[in-house]
């Protein structure tokens, strides 16, 4: 459970940083960030269920 809480904080901080980058940049990296945001809920799903593993196959 402690690991899940730590990961939630890291993901929250990452999302904040990514949001800041999209206001500063208007290039291909911005498109990559938008791609990540479109799938963000799938990335965070595993933090709500301790039985799930983080894996990009489902995304």
Mind spelling out the 3-state secondary structure of the chain?
Answer: CHHHHHHHHHHHHHHHHHHHHHHHCCCHHHHHHHHHHHCHHHHHHCCCCCCCCCCHHHC
- The yes-or-no verdict on residue 55 having pLDDT over 70 is no
Q: Would you give the distance in Å from CA 51 to the centre of its chain?
A: 19
pLDDT tens profile 16-53 = 998 888 776 677 788 888 888 998 888 888 777 767 66
- The yes-or-no verdict on residue 12 having pLDDT over 90 is yes
Per-residue confidence (pLDDT) for residue 13, from 0 to 100: 95
Stated pTM of the model: 0.68
């Amino acid at each position: 459970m402690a690991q899940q809480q730590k990961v939630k904080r890291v993901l929250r901080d990452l999302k904040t940083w990514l949001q800041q980058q999209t206001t500063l940049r208007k290039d291909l990296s911005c498109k990559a960030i938008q791609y990540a945001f479109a799938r963000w809920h799938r990335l965070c799903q595993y933090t709500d269920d301790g039985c799930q593993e983080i894996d990009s196959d489902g995304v």
